[in-house]
Amino acid sequence: MGMRVLVCGGAGYIGSHTVIQLLAAGHDVLILDNFANSKPAVIKRLESITGEHLRVHAFDLRDAERTERLFDHEQIEAVIHFAGHKAVGESVEKPLEYYQNNLGSTFSLLRAMERHGVTKLVFSSSATVYGENAPVPMTEDLPTSATNPYGWTKVMIEQVLRDVAVAQPDQRIAILRYFNPVGAHRSGTIGEDPSGIPNNLLPYICQVAVGRLQKLRVFGDDYDTPDGTALRDYIHVEDLAAGHVAALARLTATERAVSTWNLGTGNGSSVLEMLHAFERAVGRTLPYEIVGRRAGDIAASFADPGRARAELGWKATHTIDDMCVDSWRWQSQNPNGYPDA
């Protein structure tokens, strides 16, 4: 049954892809985003993909008064909370901004939900909460920790959510721990559009492929992995979006106040495997050099996705070649990302 879903951070990379699938599943969607890390142009693209007019509330979720007013005026039944800053390196330089934005927006949202009796929440967490020394594949019951302020915001918000659920046992909260989201909508009209020089592997390779960056630097080939480069669980953003729709459906049926689910494929792919998959998508080789390890990186991170499979009936279906083909379609059609206006 369709619900009215508030999507906080719905103009961002993962939020925008999820909005499409929520509408396709029959939900009524409201977007809240202050465009701190996204551009309004994405909204028109979403409208043209879905054929629907989208209602967008452009303000900072930390503005508790405006958030209250929004809940006063709209019969919101569920919330998906993507809003937050996400750059690991930047979080080390600007810890207070990260704690303020990521925690502050969550507090304002949780207060408004409590006052208005809204009991369904899906929260964007990250595999980063497994910290430095977790065994792979990673299961949801491992202890959590972090190595940087961004990661700590996720660990802390997870704890806040568990505490809120004790005090308000009618809450139905999904904590989704994403592994490495990549790829783009098959139309090639929406995708990941990082500002500045990308930190993450796929956006970096994309910009090498369009000629905006000279060559990929592979951070370390001396890990204890099959080809010496680090392993990650890359997951197509379309599979991730489907995971949110499945989690929302599950929240209406579960007795548990808080559920934690990994969203990953269960496969670890190396940096060089991703580079070569991308080269197949582009149809030519791409320049790279091996350099030293990046501080803070771990050798291997991949999910045990068994719980999500069993409880959500959800499973990632896209291969790394699908991910690279779709990323490349987006990047080649939009070499400079979204237009400013």
Per CB under 6 A, residues contacting ligand NAD are: 9, 11-15, 33-38, 60-62, 82-84, 86, 101, 105, 124, 126, 178, 181
CB of 170 to ligand UFG, least distance (A): 31
Q: Which does 261 bind (CB under 5 to 8 A by kind): ligand UFG, ligand NAD, none?
A: none
Q: Which phi and psi (to 5°) does residue 192 adopt?
A: -85, 130
Helices 13-24 and 237-251: crossing angle in degrees, nearest 10, is 60
By three-state DSSP, how is residue 121 classified?
A: strand
Residue from 13, 98, 130, 150 carrying the catalytic annotation: 150
* Tokens coding 186: 């098959």
Residue 217 binds which of ligand UFG, ligand NAD, none (CB < 5-8 A, kind-dependent): ligand UFG
* Cβ 4 to ligand UFG shortest distance, Å: 30
Question: What is the closest distance, in whole angstroms, from the C-beta atom of residue 213 to ligand UFG in the complex?
Answer: 9
Cβ atoms within 10 Å of 111's Cβ, excluding its own: 14
For residue 295, which of 115, 133, 89, 113 has the smallest C-alpha distance? 89
Residues binding ligand UFG (CB under 6 A): 86, 88, 126-128, 151, 180, 199-201, 204, 216-219, 230, 232, 271, 294, 297, 301
d(CA 207, CA 108): 37
Q: In terms of C-beta density within 10 A (0-12 exposed, 13-18 middle, 19 or more buried), how is residue 255 classed?
A: exposed
CB of 332: closest distance to ligand UFG in angstroms? 19
**Which lies closer to ligand NAD via its Cβ, residue 38 or residue 301?**
38
CA distance 259 to 174: 5
Indicate which of ligand UFG, ligand NAD, none lies near residue 173 (CB less than 5 to 8 Å, by partner kind): none
Catalytic annotation on 178? no
User: CB 298 → ligand UFG: shortest distance, Å?
Assistant: 8
Q: What is the DSSP letter of 192?
A: -
Q: Which is nearer to ligand NAD, 95 or 228 (CB)?
A: 95
Which of 159, 214 has the CB closer to ligand UFG?
214
Decide: helix, strand or coil at residue 250: helix
CA dist 217 and 288 (Å) reads 6
218 binds, among ligand NAD, ligand UFG, none (CB under 5 to 8 A by kind): ligand UFG
Secondary structure element (H or E) that encloses residue 31, with its range: strand 28-32
199 binds, among ligand UFG, ligand NAD, none (CB under 5 to 8 A by kind): ligand UFG
- Closer to ligand NAD at the Cβ: 107 or 221? 107
Token reading at 315: 């499973």
Beta strands 231-232; 269-270: pairing state? antiparallel
Half-sphere CA count of 100, side-chain side, radius 13 A? 6
Q: Which residue's C-beta sits nearest to ligand NAD?
A: 12
Number of helices followed by number of strands (H, E) in the chain: 12, 14
Nearest-angstrom CA–CA distance, 202 and 332: 13
Choosing among ligand UFG, ligand NAD, none, which partner's interface includes residue 20 (Cβ < 5 to 8 Å by kind)?
Answer: none
CB of 149 to ligand NAD, least distance (A): 12
| Catalytic residue numbers, as ranges | 150
